[in-house]
Amino acid sequence: MDVAEHIKALDTEGRLLASAAEAAGPDAPVPTCPGWTVRDLLRHTGVVHRWATRFVAEGATGFLPDAGQPELDGAELLEWFREGHELLVAALRAAPPDLECWSFMPAPSPLAFWARRQAHETAVHRLDAESARATHAGGVEAAFADDGVDELLRAFHARPKSRVRTAEPRILRVRATDTAAVWTVHLSAAPPRAERTDEGPADCEVSGPAEVLYATLWNRLPLSALTVTGDESLARLWRETSAITWA
């Protein structure tokens, strides 16, 4: 996916998130984020959007801390979220292709990084908002889901922060049954190393439609949503150690 496609997805997902949050109400619990209410979800995602906007709009080349969560609630909180989302989309659309700013994972450019990262940040939290109400707007488009799985496996968990480790080398294969995308994830005492390949034996394979893989690997669906073959302990290891937290 290119930058324009990621920005379009960010725009769509942010609007869906806000609509789902409004329908659920600020006090509704968020089942996919135990301990959170919709209020917490809006505050968190709104802070992330404004944080990302600063790098893009200001061209900040060093790390900047976030501004902290607001005390807003109810309709004012929802309006604050929508405003921050719109500011981020506008900043990305206005940014030059050669934008120079801080980022924290490999990407073709800083602009490509922030567009992709914020598209998936918002999509995952849209799923959270959907989980807080009884009706759903639908899943994640397959190509976008493939892209998100790729970012998770080959960027997020390639970082030293990843806790997905094994004492002995093991192989986890991840297969999207509807798009034919396949990842081979090399697990060891070092950070995971994922490749877009279907070569060689695997100790465990998890498979399912791309949108189900996306939600499950982001721990928004149970492992039972996927087909697991081979050593199921590797699938459970992912579930137990792959969570990504805001720090």
pLDDT in tens, 117-169: 999 999 999 999 999 986 665 689 999 999 999 999 999 999 999 999 999 99
Average pLDDT over residues 25-47: 97
Contact 231, 201 (CB under 8 A): no
Band of residue 244 on the pLDDT scale cut at 50, 70, 90? confident
By residue count, the chain amounts to 247
* pLDDT tops 80 at residue 247: no
- Bridge partners, 174 (sequence order): 183, 206
Nearest to 86 by CA among 11, 17, 3: 11
Question: Which pLDDT score is estimated for 136?
Answer: 65
Strand-strand pairing, 204-208 and 170-176? parallel
Closest CA to 171 of 224, 237, 243, 234: 234
Q: d(Cα 194, Cα 198) in Å, to the nearest integer? A: 11
pLDDT of residue 198: 94
Share of the chain above pLDDT 90, in %: 95
Residues paired with 184 in a beta bridge: 173, 195
Q: What is the pLDDT of residue 84?
A: 98
Instruction: Please report, as a single letter, which amino acid is at residue 234.
Output: L
**CA–CA separation, 211 and 235 (whole Å):** 17
64 vs 60: CA distance, rounded Å: 8
Instruction: Enter the pTM of the model.
Output: 0.95
